[in-house]
Chains A and B, each alone.
Chain A
């Protein structure tokens, strides 16, 4: 593992989900790109729960659009894709990312690192849009094409968009909280760095009318597991994610939201 943070590197703290990660970036223009890319999620100073050195490198052979390969080697997690190679030590929470200058490439490695950090805290990243309305968070989960971006677009003006792609969920105060993330989907707009207690999880389905159907707890856990972002074939980590999913459905009501794409659907949501 490389030492993190050389004297000439810029330190940016990327605060997603109250799990700030310090990025040490040697290349000043790439550091500027990161500030622009992550907007209000970047803090100039402050403590961090993980430290990661970012090095620019030529693309590896292979397809940059392929799925990230994540392998555990003892306490080291190794990530590899055509445009990125990374290592993260889950004991020291330090790592290194070697990637092309594409400011979006780092997203994939950060998602993996956040899933590792979250899995120790009973939380997880969910393939879901989420938004805050009246101080409560609503989470809309579904596979690609299920309508996450559509429901985000239809949100009323008083709603705060947390993400249209990857929701950050962690247990707090006896419930679960949703945090904004800069991980954007088709909306191509990063979320707000805000948080709120999750009022409902809504599993999206398109249909001719708007309706809400409560899902029994066991079925909710099964459906939730399908959409949790987890990348590693590691037995202990899989068990932790399963337990987190069970905890979540025990605390948060889950519904199937069948919807017709019109703004009125939000009258049903909350």
Chain B
């Protein structure tokens, strides 16, 4: 099974408001509110670290969730955001992703 690489799209605006990450697609104006687990994945989406490693290193130890469950939930989350072109997904590293800045 090949690795999945994820990077934040440049076609979004994102802000952390009161501890809640809000992301708006600039393409279709869809507004997302991420829970802490999804926020951790979002912030780690550097295009270079495989999603599987992100879950293993940042999610499982922090949120005390079984790894197979966390991997499945993370894949679903990534697929959803990719459908709205908020995350860029590739089976190869994304070396120069146009990362959006978050505030």
Binding site for B on A (CB under 8 A): 216-218, 221-222, 225, 233, 235-236, 238-240, 242-243, 246, 249-250
Q: Once the chains bind, are A222 and B22 in contact (CB under 8 Å)?
A: yes
Can you list 6 contacts pairing A with B, beta carbon distance less than 8 Å? A217-B17, A217-B18, A221-B22, A235-B11, A243-B15, A246-B15
A249 CA / B20 CA spacing, docked (Å): 13
Is B27 an interface position by the 8 A CB rule? yes
Bitwise interface map of B from 1 to 42 toward A, beta carbon under 8 Å scored 1, else 0: 000000000011101011010101011010101000000000
The smallest C-beta distance from B98 to any residue of chain A, in angstroms, reads 12
Indicate whether A218 sits within 8 Å of B33 (C-beta atoms), given known contacts A235-B11, A246-B15, A246-B17.
yes
- B residues near A225, Cβ cutoff 8 Å: 24, 31
Q: Once the chains bind, are B17 and A242 in contact (CB under 8 Å)?
A: no
Q: Once the chains bind, are B27 and A218 in contact (CB under 8 Å)?
A: no
A239 CA / B12 CA spacing, docked (Å): 7
The smallest C-beta distance from A216 to any residue of chain B, in angstroms, reads 6
Which 9 A-B residue pairs are closest in the complex by CB-CB distance?
Answer: A235-B26, A239-B13, A218-B20, A217-B18, A242-B13, A246-B15, A242-B24, A218-B17, A238-B26
Indicate whether A239 sits within 8 Å of B17 (C-beta atoms), given known contacts A222-B33, A225-B31.
no
Name the residue of chain A whose CB is nearest to the CB of B20.
A218
- B residues near A216, Cβ cutoff 8 Å: 18
Q: Once the chains bind, are A221 and B17 in contact (CB under 8 Å)?
A: yes
Q: Once the chains bind, are B22 and A246 in contact (CB under 8 Å)?
A: yes
B contact residues, range:
10 to 19
Indicate whether A218 sits within 8 Å of B22 (C-beta atoms), given known contacts A235-B11, A238-B13, A239-B13.
yes
The smallest C-beta distance from B33 to any residue of chain A, in angstroms, reads 6
A239 CA / B29 CA spacing, docked (Å): 9
Q: Once the chains bind, are B26 and A239 in contact (CB under 8 Å)?
A: yes
The smallest C-beta distance from B16 to any residue of chain A, in angstroms, reads 9
- Residue among A233, A243, A249 making CB contact with B13, cutoff 8 Å: A243
- B residues near A233, Cβ cutoff 8 Å: 29
Q: Once the chains bind, are A222 and B31 in contact (CB under 8 Å)?
A: yes
Name the residue of chain B whose CB is nearest to the CB of A249.
B17
A26 CA / B27 CA spacing, docked (Å): 40
- B residues near A218, Cβ cutoff 8 Å: 17-18, 20, 22, 33
A189 CA / B82 CA spacing, docked (Å): 47
A221 CA / B18 CA spacing, docked (Å): 11
The smallest C-beta distance from A236 to any residue of chain B, in angstroms, reads 7
Q: Once the chains bind, are B20 and A239 in contact (CB under 8 Å)?
A: no
Name the residue of chain B whose CB is nearest to the CB of A217.
B18
- A residues near B13, Cβ cutoff 8 Å: 238-240, 242-243
A97 CA / B33 CA spacing, docked (Å): 40
A246 CA / B12 CA spacing, docked (Å): 14
- B residues near A246, Cβ cutoff 8 Å: 15, 17, 22, 103
A238 CA / B26 CA spacing, docked (Å): 5
- B residues near A243, Cβ cutoff 8 Å: 13, 15, 103
- A residues near B31, Cβ cutoff 8 Å: 222, 225, 242
- A residues near B29, Cβ cutoff 8 Å: 233, 238
Q: Once the chains bind, are A239 and B24 in contact (CB under 8 Å)?
A: yes
- A residues near B15, Cβ cutoff 8 Å: 221, 242-243, 246
Name the residue of chain A whose CB is nearest to the CB of B25.
A238
A246 CA / B103 CA spacing, docked (Å): 10
The smallest C-beta distance from A178 to any residue of chain B, in angstroms, reads 22
